[in-house]
Structure 1
Amino acid sequence: MIIKIDFESEIPIYEQLKRQIIQGIAKGDLSKGEELPSVRQLAEDIGINLHTVNKSYNLLKDEGYLVVDRRKGTRVSDTMPEPNEKYIDNLKEEIGYISADAYCKGIRKEEFLSVCEKYFNDFIANGEDESNGR
């Protein structure tokens, strides 16, 4: 999986990294149980501070996406986290903002929903591929 950091983005680097790892899992670029690079190695590869990678890994661990073992390293969890009330509230807030932004910029409802459906369907297709032994 290739990580691309936009150093000019308003989104903090740790958040960009976190999002890309979650997308990598959803797309099937990262498999359940797959080992990730060490904090030091990933920081060096990307050219960022190791504390930034550590923050991303710890957030992903807290959310249930990663398992961190000092002996075995960091790997993708074998089970994905279940949505809880806090997650649903955050999801509504994010979708609310994205919807408002799209509306203000003149995106038609059909186009907005089509974009959302395309991405979600891509993730569903990858999940079905995995369950079929991909």
Structure 2
Amino acid sequence: MMFIELDLQSETPIYTQIAEQLIEGIARGQLKPGEPLPSVRSLASDLGINLHTVNKAYQTLKQDGFLQVHRKQGVVVQPDTMPGVTAEFTAKLRQQFRALSAEAIVRGMTESEFLKLAQEVYRSNNLQQKGE
């Protein structure tokens, strides 16, 4: 779990930062399906934060289908199928793109610069792609 880095000055809540970085770890293959994650207490201790914050991140990811929580095994990366592209996800993504693209426009970024950056970020998270 060494790849989790928190920005305590960020406006993004800490539990959201943890959840986003765990999803990035799954996307990049750093976390494999079925792989156990540290306990809530252990991760909270390692990061120097409240255990309720870690619990909220884990519960959010469990609700979204990225993690499973077992009494004996603890928290594991979803061993079966990851959640698919749903209407809710598409709406969330559209809203985030709307806000990001509006700011990019106001700052003078061109559409091609915006799309190139989006493609670079997507590809950096998708290291397992083959020949794309």
Checking the alignment, whether the CA contact within 8 Å between 1:26 and 1:127 is kept in structure 2 is no
Quote the residue 1:11 is aligned against. Answer: 12
Q: Figure out how many residues of one structure are paired with residues of the other and give that number.
A: 129
Q: SS at 1:74's partner residue?
A: strand
More helix by share: 1
Between the aligned partners of 2:128 and 2:98, the Cα distance in structure 1 is 26
Checking the alignment, whether the CA contact within 8 Å between 1:28 and 1:127 is kept in structure 2 is no
Q: CA 1:112/1:30 → structure 2, altered by over 3 Å: closer, same or farther?
A: same
User: TM-score, normalising length from structure 2?
Assistant: 0.91
Between the aligned partners of 1:22 and 1:125, the Cα distance in structure 2 is 13
Query: Residues 6-51 of structure 1: CA distance to partner in whole angstroms, max 9, x if unpaired?
Result: 1100000010111001111111111111110000000000011000
Checking the alignment, whether the CA contact within 8 Å between 1:68 and 1:74 is kept in structure 2 is yes
Between the aligned partners of 1:127 and 1:80, the Cα distance in structure 2 is 16
Q: SS at 1:75's partner residue?
A: strand
Between the aligned partners of 1:85 and 1:26, the Cα distance in structure 2 is 20
Quote the residue 1:109 is aligned against. Answer: 111
- State the Cα distance separating 1:128 from its structure 2 match: 4.4
- State the Cα distance separating 1:121 from its structure 2 match: 2.5
User: TM-score, normalising length from structure 1?
Assistant: 0.90
Aligned Cα RMSD in Å?
1.5
Quote the residue 1:57 is aligned against. Answer: 58
Matched ranges for 1:85-104 at <5 A: 85-104=87-106
Structure 1 stretches lacking a partner, 5+ long: 130-134
- State the Cα distance separating 1:107 from its structure 2 match: 1.5
Quote the residue 1:69 is aligned against. Answer: 70
Structure 2 stretches lacking a partner, 5+ long: none
Q: Which 4+ stretches in 1 moved above 3 angstroms?
A: 122-125
Query: Residues 34-82 of structure 1: CA distance to partner in whole angstroms, max 9, x if unpaired?
Result: 1100000000000110000000000000000001101101010022101
